[in-house]
Amino acid sequence: MTNQPKALVAGNWKMNGLTAAITEIDSLNHKIANHPNMACELMICPPATILATAVLRAENLEIGAQDCHAALGGAHTGDVSTEMLTDLGVTAVILGHSERRADHGETSAQVAEKVVAAQRAGLVSIICVGETEAERKSGQALGVVSEQIAGSIPLDGTHADNIVVAYEPVWAIGTGLVPSVADVAEMHAHIRDLLKGMFENDGDKMRILYGGSVKGSNAAELMNVDNVNGALVGGASLKADDFFAIVEAAYL
């Protein structure tokens, strides 16, 4: 499609990666340097413990975090503020991932507070939405995602440069299952309509990523779907070769 925002391929390392994993970022640096005309931007979101090292080592790729606290600072043991992230040179933060919604009971209202905090600090929010298998089977997928979008994205302060939406069907994460091209197209068109309803022309410029079992072998098909502006990749982002295979399939 013409007029689409530049694609983003982001890797979510989740709770994986000790200091030695930084060599994967070195390897990505080389691959990117060899392909100056890539049709996408790249980002890696490593665990918090190696964010600072990752920022220092990354060349021509962004480094994002996987969560944040909504407050500026204070008595919140173990949490990290958005200002602490920008202080490191981190440029984005994944918010509302289904694993945080499930493991930590995060609600869309809490996600929206974190998005406000990210905007306050100048971070891009990668806001995750997606239905469970039961919700899809009972025909509720579009409705669930509508509610998550409306609840997780604040109207004030949001524009095309500071949010990215990631559609990640929960049943496709880490399972090897992917929705049909028709279902991806339907959901991404639906999300585009919602964003245009909320943000008018800016809604056309917001990136909508697909996430859930993306790998080199399925990336071309998924990334070619209308309104798919890149990928949020879990398992296949841990090794530079696997991650770059996605770029090679879809954006080189």
Active site residues: 97, 168
SS3 string, 168-194, reads CCHHHCCCCCCCCHHHHHHHHHHHHHH
Which tokens is 21 given?
């994993």
Pick the piece of the chain touching ligand 13P (CB under 6 A) from 47-55, 70-78, 200-208, 229-237. 229-237
Pick the piece of the chain touching ligand 13P (CB under 6 A) from 21-29, 107-115, 167-175, 182-190. 167-175
Closest residue by beta carbon to ligand 13P: 234
Q: Does 44 bind ligand 13P (CB under 6 A)?
A: no
Return the number of the residue (62 or 168) whose C-beta is nearest ligand 13P. Answer: 168
Q: State in angstroms the smallest separation of the CB of 173 from ligand 13P.
A: 4
From start to end of the chain, where are the E strands? Answer: 7-12, 40-45, 62-65, 92-95, 124-129, 163-167, 207-211, 230-233
Q: Kindly tell me which residue out of 80, 173, 206, 223 binds ligand 13P, with binding defined by CB under 6 A.
A: 173
Q: Kindly tell me which residue out of 64, 179, 212, 230 binds ligand 13P, with binding defined by CB under 6 A.
A: 212
Residue 180, burial from CB neighbour count under 10 angstroms (0-12, 13-18, 19+): exposed
Residue type, position 16, single letter: N
Cα–Cα distances (Å) from 77 to 74, 91, 111, 127, 146, in that order, read 9, 23, 19, 24, 33
Q: Kindly tell me which residue out of 214, 222, 228, 240 binds ligand 13P, with binding defined by CB under 6 A.
A: 214
Total residues at the site for ligand 13P (CB under 6 A)? 14
Cα–Cα distances (Å) from 29 to 32, 60, 132, 197, in that order, read 5, 7, 36, 39
DSSP-derived secondary structure letter, 81: B
Q: Kindly tell me which residue out of 42, 235, 240, 249 binds ligand 13P, with binding defined by CB under 6 A.
A: 235
CB 198 within 8 A of CB 217: no
Q: Does 250 bind ligand 13P (CB under 6 A)?
A: no
Q: State in angstroms the smallest separation of the CB of 104 from ligand 13P.
A: 15
| Dist CA 179 CA 136 (whole Å) | 10
Q: Does 211 bind ligand 13P (CB under 6 A)?
A: yes
Pick the piece of the chain touching ligand 13P (CB under 6 A) from 106-114, 189-197, 201-209, 211-219. 211-219
Q: Kindly tell me which residue out of 73, 143, 157, 174 binds ligand 13P, with binding defined by CB under 6 A.
A: 174
Collapsing DSSP states into helix, strand and coil, what is residue 139? coil
Q: Does 209 bind ligand 13P (CB under 6 A)?
A: no
Q: State in angstroms the smallest separation of the CB of 65 from ligand 13P.
A: 13
The number of helix segments (H) and strand segments (E) in the chain equals: 11, 8
- Measured distance between the N- and C-terminal CA atoms of the chain, rounded to whole angstroms: 16
Q: State in angstroms the smallest separation of the CB of 13 from ligand 13P.
A: 9
- Per CB under 6 A, residues contacting ligand 13P are 12, 97, 168, 173-174, 211-214, 232-236
